[in-house]
Structure 1
């Protein structure tokens, strides 16, 4: 009896927003470690050859891009119909479907994370299989978690509240980076493996418990709606038997609708560059620390700088969300692009010899870039609203639209290490796959590099550090200036969606 009472009271201790945000913790503690160490593990520990690395990244590029719309379509195809076609699917039922998917794929995502840290096949084969398996489960988890942002709330304030909790828990999850630096040793990998097993176990338990609590909460809402629907059916209320049901939208029709969605096209153009820049910073952060700062700062300072660069974006996002509430997401993102451009130009003019400025810039560059990424889910949620209103959906196809965004932008995740390693080798002659420098580089090193105080590799790393964000910021500002879903237009879209789904929305004040 006591156990039953405890199980009934336990879900009531936490708000929906708190439980939703905690799911970000179980994703971030694993994904941050993955981003930081998977390239170094296969290059430095497993000694993967260059051809296998490029083949693996190329196959991963294809799979990484295609699985998002594929899983999104499988998840949301039943929603792609007009309001008159077939039985109505209520918002609580949609949320329940997503939570069931999270309760299954979350633990599998954590298990796939473990496959990177034990050598169980040839390096090339393991690299390919681990990347594809891990990204498949990550996609399922991320798609449904992101889609819940659009399904749980429509108003900007409620979505900001949900995103606020995600930022808090993502910041907590980023502390795994602090701990990982203490366990990382490419010469003795045993302790790092144990650390990864502990992270995965924590994530599995977390996904299981939180998704179960949320499912219990929304199951009550679904049963209530089913009882109401049965009552209406018994009374013959709310039915139009003479109405000819329309066929669901096919994938071809959906793609045709999306091709006319101009804001979607400009957004993915900007976001492709953003994904590239985020992963470029993650993949080459250790390289920048080693070749730009290692002779001037201690290992302890390097670990602090690394940890801050992962934690600060989430904490900073709490402030960005307050700005979004006041000025709108569009304006805040535009300011962040301009700030990234200004800081990069200032660092270029200052030069590579100002160590403290380099420390601040390396950290802030990642902080503001990642901070922008944290706000983009809000923009995609607004695009979901626009798609719902313009195409008169029965239910918003949230996961599918998030998947289509990923289809167009995730190639940047693969381009980051490939273009970065090519640029480094082309400019300085340094090949991370070789133990010695390449003799013939494609571009001669400037005369400044001949100075004994500024080695060619260090200068090349510095130029990569500043020119990549300058180029990205300029391109993003151009694309973002063409995006029109903000201000009065956005408010109009939200009003129309709230009116269309008035009878099916969850009471967001309970969140």
Structure 2
């Protein structure tokens, strides 16, 4: 459902209920909240797990998983209802837009954090995590079809059909969240019932033991200090910051590349096909990437994708903008492979969760909090992607897409004026250089960062073995009492 949430700004601007400057101000406020809520919600969710192993009562994995599922069952339907709140007038446009945007992102963050955390909490095995991610990508691809359905009923002159679609989508999503989380909780409780009862009885013995000290909780400042010493975490977020930048650069400039590089060379249906591929193909392509991960490991696959990005960029640069079919393939593949890489990186974060637990000897993995910290550090890439891209285009061509109202040219079917036509050769060349040099630069920087990342191969196997040992030692310590 999150893929259908991108029409809110377009609706506000189309209806004229808010000016462009008002939307810019509201989006700035939202951007601040969007940057802070990931670590905030992660801390609120996982702060109980940050105590060390030396004392206190171990928190069992079933408790953690059920806690995640309970959070999903609560926040999932609220996420669906917050989407519905966009399309029903209940306050002044500016206030409603800001509140709905922040609520929507807040519940989406809670859903994403707990869903991603389950990937790390359900299993330690890399093979099992890859399998879980495979099915997640499969159903994400199915869910992304809502984008095509939303555009099928979209009419800026009459919102009635679109509002009906939003109501059906919101209620369907709420019911789906409720049923899915209920079934998962029932199945998990049934399969682990015997083990759950045993752990609960042993925990009572552990609590009643007089020599057990109270667990020592760490503060947020102490946790941040621990992260600052986590070498692989720092190299990963450096690489992921560039990846997030590249993903959002492609999202923001994809229509501009289609307009100025391909609009007079390909048919309208071909342009629509490329746009549709850019939404659905990353999910489907990720299924193939995950099968490669099971064979070669995530580290090798991600490194291969960086080399592929670099190779395609160099080939396109040498070929030039006149090879139309190669240009179509490069524009589509650049977006598809970049988005696909982003979806693989959740598996790397789950490995970082394991290493964080081992390095700091935590009582339980703080999965949601670590996902939130990764999101916090990489959010600047999302913010600066359109700004840096616009600045580079303006610096090379002198063409300001905001002052020259490029958007009206993109969506208009009217013939271009002579003054606009004069810009085309320079603008076309500038768009081409922007298209190829950004992936090349990103690939080089990412290969440099990724080469310093050591959580793979034998080191990763040792970390996973140590996490398994920690889990088993907790049970053994309880049983000896």
| TM above 0.5 | yes
Q: Which shifted more, 332-341 or 465-474?
A: 465-474
Deviations along 1:12-31, one digit per CA (max 9) or x if unpaired, are xxxxxxxxxxxxxxxxxx22
Work out whether residues 49 and 124 of structure 1, in 8 Å CA contact, stay in contact via their aligned partners in 2.
Answer: no
Counterpart of 1:402 in structure 2 is: 371
Deviations along 1:249-292, one digit per CA (max 9) or x if unpaired, are 22121111111001111111111111122122223333333333
Alpha-carbon distance in 1 for matches of 2:406, 2:251: 24
Work out whether residues 340 and 469 of structure 1, in 8 Å CA contact, stay in contact via their aligned partners in 2.
Answer: yes
Counterpart of 2:413 in structure 1 is: none
Distance change (3 Å), C-alpha of 1:370 and 1:291 = same
Residue 472 of structure 2 aligns to a residue in which SS? coil
Deviations along 1:336-379, one digit per CA (max 9) or x if unpaired, are 11111221222233333333222211211111001101110000
Distance change (3 Å), C-alpha of 1:105 and 1:66 = same
> Does the alignment pair 1:464 with 2:434?
yes
Distance change (3 Å), C-alpha of 1:313 and 1:91 = same
Alpha-carbon distance in 2 for matches of 1:289, 1:476: 26
> Does the alignment pair 1:32 with 2:20?
no
Distance change (3 Å), C-alpha of 1:49 and 1:474 = farther
Work out whether residues 62 and 196 of structure 2, in 8 Å CA contact, stay in contact via their aligned partners in 1.
Answer: no
Within-5 A mapping of 1:324-339:
324-339=293-308
> Does the alignment pair 1:429 with 2:407?
no
Q: Which shifted more, 191-200 or 428-437?
A: 428-437
Work out whether residues 56 and 213 of structure 2, in 8 Å CA contact, stay in contact via their aligned partners in 1.
Answer: no
> Does the alignment pair 1:370 with 2:334?
no
Alpha-carbon distance in 2 for matches of 1:46, 1:333: 44
Alignment TM-score, normalising by the size of structure 1? 0.82
> Does the alignment pair 1:66 with 2:50?
no
> Does the alignment pair 1:487 with 2:457?
yes
Work out whether residues 57 and 206 of structure 2, in 8 Å CA contact, stay in contact via their aligned partners in 1.
Answer: no
Counterpart of 2:25 in structure 1 is: 55
Alpha-carbon distance in 2 for matches of 1:451, 1:405: 44
How far has the Cα of 1:303 moved from its partner? 2.6
Work out whether residues 323 and 332 of structure 1, in 8 Å CA contact, stay in contact via their aligned partners in 2.
Answer: yes
Q: Which structure 1 segments of 5+ residues have no match?
A: 1-29, 439-448, 506-511
Distance change (3 Å), C-alpha of 1:436 and 1:283 = closer
Alpha-carbon distance in 2 for matches of 1:73, 1:355: 49
Distance change (3 Å), C-alpha of 1:478 and 1:184 = farther
How far has the Cα of 1:502 moved from its partner? 3.0
How far has the Cα of 1:320 moved from its partner? 1.2
Counterpart of 2:467 in structure 1 is: 497
Work out whether residues 178 and 306 of structure 1, in 8 Å CA contact, stay in contact via their aligned partners in 2.
Answer: no
Deviations along 1:414-452, one digit per CA (max 9) or x if unpaired, are 3233444455555453434764799xxxxxxxxxx9986
Alpha-carbon distance in 2 for matches of 1:278, 1:88: 40
Distance change (3 Å), C-alpha of 1:81 and 1:402 = same
Deviations along 1:7-46, one digit per CA (max 9) or x if unpaired, are xxxxxxxxxxxxxxxxxxxxxxx222335x4554445554
Work out whether residues 58 and 474 of structure 2, in 8 Å CA contact, stay in contact via their aligned partners in 1.
Answer: no
Counterpart of 2:348 in structure 1 is: 379
Within-5 A mapping of 1:61-460:
61-116=31-86, 125-220=95-190, 224-229=194-199, 231-232=201-202, 236=205, 240-424=209-393, 427-432=397-402, 435=405, 454-460=424-430
Distance change (3 Å), C-alpha of 1:238 and 1:137 = closer
User: RMSD over aligned Cα, in angstroms?
Assistant: 3.0
Deviations along 1:150-204, one digit per CA (max 9) or x if unpaired, are 0001011110110111111111122223333433444544444433333323221
Work out whether residues 281 and 336 of structure 2, in 8 Å CA contact, stay in contact via their aligned partners in 1.
Answer: yes
Alpha-carbon distance in 2 for matches of 1:386, 1:464: 38
Deviations along 1:466-491, one digit per CA (max 9) or x if unpaired, are 23222222221221111111111111
How far has the Cα of 1:98 moved from its partner? 0.7
Alpha-carbon distance in 1 for matches of 2:343, 2:284: 11
Residue 216 of structure 1 aligns to a residue in which SS? helix
Alpha-carbon distance in 1 for matches of 2:163, 2:394: 31
